[in-house]
Amino acid sequence: MIATRRSPLALWQAGHVKARLEALHAGLRVELLPLSTRGDELAGVSLAAAGGKGVFVMELEAALADGRAALAVHSMKDLPVELPAGYRIAAITAREDPRDAFVSARHAGLGALPGGSAVGTSSLRRQAQIAARHPGLEVRPLRGNVETRLAKLDRGEYAAIVLAAAGLKRLGLEGRIRSFLSPEECLPAPGQGALGIECLAARGEVAALAAPLADADASACVRAERQVNRALGGSCTIPLAAYAERAGGELRLRALVASPDGRQVARAESAGDPELPEALGERVAQLLRGRGADRILAALRP
């Protein structure tokens, strides 16, 4: 049994993992356990006010703990960097497109929007980077599943919205994308585009079933990205971006921390051994600290 959120995207992701597991293991039958999470129920408030990214996973982890499910499937960008004791990530799957996507009925990109246009996003990370590059735009909060966000755009509540490209592609909605935001324009969130398969640490036999779905490159990249967040305090509600890529025999990692208004941005990058992704993430986090990240983060604390 796979625990999953009830949103169409989450169900697609869990169904994808189910199909791959059944194809890999002859005779294995997998079912889905759709659950409502606190994050889904509080779609009208900001992620920070709802309690951070953990609000999307607690109910799924409870289903693992009480035996209703053996696995849980998450978007890695929604998974807190510290798992509760007794849980583990059994596999990080091959990564879908990690970029952000610009969606609008009338405009081709952020640079084509008239001054004062309303741009919707659920992410402080996107908000900060859009504000830094396009200070004349009005960035407004946008919560809800992909379909809800698109409906708000179609009703004219926003001139454009910015979503993860991976979700739109997985739902067959790539045609709604007017343009992609390159990492240079909007650096992705740690883990964006990758799926994580979680199980209880004690369930070695379950982890072994999921292990063949792991992708070595995606795992190294995501582990490096998540370590930047972990090293800077592990908060899931700060404007932080981190994106790693394999470049020849090295892992290249870029990251930033920004104030929500985009007026302060600390950037850093480095390259390192793909076999030591956490060491690379730690190094980039230290570079960010030397470029003002601690000052930016201190100003965000209550």
Q: Please, are residues 115 and 136 in contact by the beta-carbon 8 Å criterion?
A: yes
Question: Could you say which of 78, 100, 273, 294 is catalytic?
Answer: 78
- The residue type of 287 is L
Is 97 designated active site?
no
Q: Could you give the CA distance from residue 75 to residue 62 in angstroms, rounded to a whole number?
A: 17
The two structure tokens encoding residue 149: 């966000």
Q: Please, are residues 153 and 118 in contact by the beta-carbon 8 Å criterion?
A: no
Give a three-class secondary structure readout of 74-111: EEHHHCCCCCCCCEEEEEECCCCCCCEEEECCCCCCHH
| Angle at the Cα of 276 from the Cα atoms of 274 and 278, rounded to 5 degrees | 115
Give the catalytic positions in this structure: 78
